[in-house]
Amino acid sequence: MNQLDALKSFTTVVADTGDFLQLAQFRPQDATTNPSLILKAVQKPEYAPLMQQTLAQHGAGDLALTMDHLLVRFGCEILKHVPGRVSTEVDARLSFDTDATLMRARRIAALYAAQGVQGDRVLIKIAATWEGIQAAAALEREGIHTNLTLLFSFAQAVACGQANVRLISPFVGRIYDWYKKQAGAAWDEVAMAGANDPGVVSVRRIFNFYKKHGIATEVMGASFRNVGQITALAGCDLLTISPELLAQLAASEAPLSKALDAQAAKAMDIPAVGHNEAGFRYALNDDAMATEKLAEGIRAFAVDTAKLETLMLA
């Protein structure tokens, strides 16, 4: 059994890509997208027609609406290749506007419904700001399920659990990047690998906290830099993995054991935690890594969304 098949026995494997033609060989359950992945895809000859067709049908007069049509078009194509769900992201430039996030999320959900896609096959991705989490809470009450992304801190995870969001995506690789950069020449790659990787440590803490306190929100590790980060989280609810790393897992027959265990977490001594808005903002502010990476992530997705818009106008 290769590592990918072994991982699937512990964890739901999700493909992190807009390149849906790659999906068949890995047979993931779900797929996730983001503006950067869609931007990368539409610049490939095999996917350019999707944007051209979307523009022909909807024009460029209302770029935001046409963008949502494009994202849903990709999502519908992806759903032809996976049996589960696709995650589609709300414009990151709305990350601090609850009402605008709600409007765009509802529209994306409605566009999927108009294509005959049932709501349980779609997750609306929203940045895990306070405003985004409040929007997600309202959407969940309406039956629109959410994936809270750009999640770097325990405080964000706590607030998402309180909001009863369907799923969170803690960013393993970007946490690792920050700590490695901070350490500079003192970074010991071997000592900080696997279970000691700071991104892995963060996800394990969140996973154990949720399982201990019966929080139903699913934990999906994301943004991996290497296979070791993935194997160290075997047993997590879900892991979303790039095609490149999926291929590495499929090519390896090294043994793989379960690293996270929901039943074991229930026996751990983990205190309950809750946050109101002030407590959330202070806890996030107190975490330099999370504060910096959340801001950086929103900026990066906003830049790539603007690049997509520029391509539409070209």
Catalytic residues: 125
CB 66 within 8 A of CB 58: yes
Q: Cα 180 to chain center, whole Å?
A: 22
For the beta carbon of residue 26, count every other beta carbon within 10 angstroms. Answer: 20
Contacts 24+ apart (CB under 8 A), 132-138: 132/95, 132/98, 132/101, 133/159, 133/160, 133/163, 133/165, 134/98, 134/163, 135/98, 135/99, 135/101, 135/102, 135/105, 136/160, 136/163, 136/165, 137/163, 137/164, 137/165, 138/98, 138/102
Q: How many CA atoms lie within 13 A of 193 on its CB side?
A: 9
Give, as one character, the DSSP assignment of residue 290. Answer: H
Q: Cα 130 to chain center, whole Å?
A: 17
Q: Cα 71 to chain center, whole Å?
A: 15
Residue type, 87: S
Tokens for 307?
Answer: 């690049």
| CA nearest to 198, candidates 218, 220, 228 | 228
For the beta carbon of residue 184, count every other beta carbon within 10 angstroms. Answer: 7
Rounded-to-integer distance, Cα 203 and Cα 201, Å: 6
